[in-house]
């Protein structure tokens, strides 16, 4: 490993340690102080996908 790689690794560790970790689920999002912003962003994304007809009709499937 060269010195530049070590420096980059240590810098990344500091950034990650202090960074606001992004939520992974709706349940996690609802617990955040900035939940209203998350909710608006989720709705904007769903609206965008709907306008572009990304989703087709819902088809029931058999269990398992």
Is pLDDT of 36 > 90? yes
Can you tell me the distance from the alpha carbon of 28 to that of 24, in angstroms, rounded to the nearest whole number?
A: 7
Provide the residue ranges of all domains of the chain, joining segments of one domain with +. 25-52
pLDDT at 20: 63
CA angle 52, 45, 33 (to 5 degrees): 175
pLDDT of residue 48: 93
Q: Cα(13)–Cα(35) distance, rounded to whole angstroms?
A: 27
Q: What is the mean pLDDT of residues 7-21?
A: 75
pLDDT of residue 4: 83
Radius of gyration in angstroms for the set of CA atoms belonging to the chain, rounded to a whole number? 20
Q: Report which of 57, 1, 28 is spatially closest to residue 10, judged by C-alpha positions.
A: 1
């Amino acid at each position: 490993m060269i010195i530049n790689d070590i420096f980059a690794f240590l810098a990344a560790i500091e950034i990650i340690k202090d960074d606001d970790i992004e939520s992974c689920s709706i349940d996690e999002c609802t617990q955040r102080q900035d939940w209203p912003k998350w909710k608006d962003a989720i709705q904007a994304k769903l609206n965008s996908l709907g306008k572009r007809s990304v989703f087709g009709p819902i088809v029931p499937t058999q269990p398992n």
